[in-house]
Structure 1
Amino acid sequence: MRCLIVDDNAGFVAAARKLLEAGGMTVVGSASSSVEAFDLVASLQPDVTLVDIDLGAENGIDLAERLHDSGAPSPVVLVSAYSADDFLESITACGAAGFVPKSRLSASAIREVLEGSTGFEESDHR
């Protein structure tokens, strides 16, 4: 599975890349802004795009909604260090495939969201 990571924290991107690749995913690129994300989604056509909810001056939920509305070819999975409880209504309304807390990020967690066996269940937003 090919993955694009959208996060403005370079340290997290490096750690996530190692973690996801250890789980069998291929990280095809990373972006730190909405503009970069749109360009990379179009050119790299990842199987999934991971988007941090907190993109500094930008909002990852808005980006997920824009990607969804634009017909982007890959589903979006939102990630955050914060609990989904803080954003649950916005997360469910933006068209994202699901949410994974950064503390539980793994290739298997991403696969579970995409397979529909998780997403916005209680276990994902305690």
Structure 2
Amino acid sequence: IDLGPFLSDLIENMRPIAAEKGLRLRTGPLRGRVESDAGLLRSVIQNFLSNAVRYTARGGVLVGVRRRGDHLRIDVIDTGVGIAETQIDDIFTEFMRIGEVEVEGLGLGLALVRRIVRLIGGRVDVRSRPGRGSRFSLYLPALDMGGAQRETGPATRSRVGGMRPLRVLTVDNDARIVEASRMLLEAMGHRIVSARDIAGALAIDGPIDAALLDYQLDDGENGLDLAERLRRQRPGLPIILVTAENSAAMRARATAMGIDCLAKPVAPAAIEAFLAAVSVREVETE
């Protein structure tokens, strides 16, 4: 992968969102080549970029690439709220609060990023100062112009190349959201099956690789009740809850069930990261 055009494309896609917030989105040197899975690498950098823009109120975001020995370091640097050193490990948990900013979904995305990065043989580093901003960095082995690269990570091309499209169940009582989900997931290369209630979801035949469930369904039904029944029917099914609900009771129940929550409206990068992590798990168990 030539990082110049690859990163430039991601940056341009994020630029309108940054502009809406009055943020500058700048680039430093982007030179360098790596051997990696483009989809997984895109998920990681999109996560860094979307978090940087989301949690920066003033200033901007800088993206650049630096050579560090045999590795390239891809940096996403922001002038956002910043994180205390003692809290950096905590940002890899599902939910936390940094200063006055509700960082819902940040840890979920980073937990998935951590898994993806392990597969592609990289390493994540975070440097931050409260009130000054953060630098999220991805280290990957550099690919020289002759194509040589050292095997420094657990992943090989054959394992990463084993990724396959997933069959994803989407359940929401709003037909418009179901259709939007279909368009998004198909654009990512996945296949979708959908339902609007518990009975419809349980009646679906064939394999399901992952499920995206709304919490508030019709007639008193909810996504966690459905999740319990799906896992009895399909043990080990990866499930994520997509919801506008934010009650402590709902979150506690989801946590006890080992189900992460994404708050509506959901960034496509977060869904892509979840599905990439499902693919990672499947590849690692082969």
TM-score class, shorter: 0.7 to 0.9
Partners of 1:3 and 1:48 within 8 A in 2: yes
Q: What is the CA–CA distance in structure 2 between the aligned matches of 1:113 and 1:47, rounded to whole Å?
A: 11
Equivalent residue for 1:123?
Answer: none
CA–CA distance in structure 1, aligned partners of residues 180 and 206 of structure 2: 21
TM-score (norm 1): 0.73
Q: What amino acid is the match of 1:90?
A: R
**Superposed displacement of residue 60, structure 1:** 0.9
List alignment gaps of at least 5 residues for structure 2.
Answer: 1-165, 282-286
2:211 equivalent to 1:49: yes
Identity of aligned residues (%): 34
- Choose the corresponding residue for 1:99, options 238, 258, 261: 261
Residue 3 of structure 1 pairs with residue 168 of structure 2: yes
Give the conservation status (yes or no) of the 8 Å contact 1:53–1:61. Answer: yes
Which is bigger in relative contact order (C-alpha 8 A, separation at least 6)? 1
Q: Distance in 2 between matches of 1:10 and 1:71?
A: 25
Distance in 2 between residues matched to 1:35 and 1:82, nearest whole Å = 22
Q: Which range moved further: 43-52 or 69-78?
A: 69-78
Provide the aligned length of Structure 1 versus Structure 2: 112
| 1:26-70 Cα shifts (integer Å, max 9, x gaps) | 21x211111111111xx1311111111111221111111122233
Which structure has the larger Rg over C-alpha atoms? 2
Residues 1:113 and 1:80: Cα distance change in structure 2 (over 3 Å): farther
Is the Cα contact below 8 Å between 1:16 and 1:105 reproduced in 2?
no
Runs (4+) off by over 6 Å: none
SS of 1:50's partner is strand
Which runs of structure 2 are paired with 1:107-122 in the superposition (5 Å)?
Answer: 107-111=271-275, 114=278
Secondary structure of the structure 1 residue equivalent to 2:265: helix
SS of the residue aligned with 2:194? strand
The alpha carbon displacement at 1:79 in A equals 0.9
Which residue pairs with 1:12 in the alignment? 177
* One-letter amino acid of the structure 1 residue matched with residue 226 of structure 2: L
How many angstroms apart in 2 are the aligned matches of 1:62 and 1:91? 10
Contact 2:243 2:262 in 1 (8 A): yes
| CA RMSD after TM alignment | 2.5
Offset of residue 99 of structure 1: 2.2
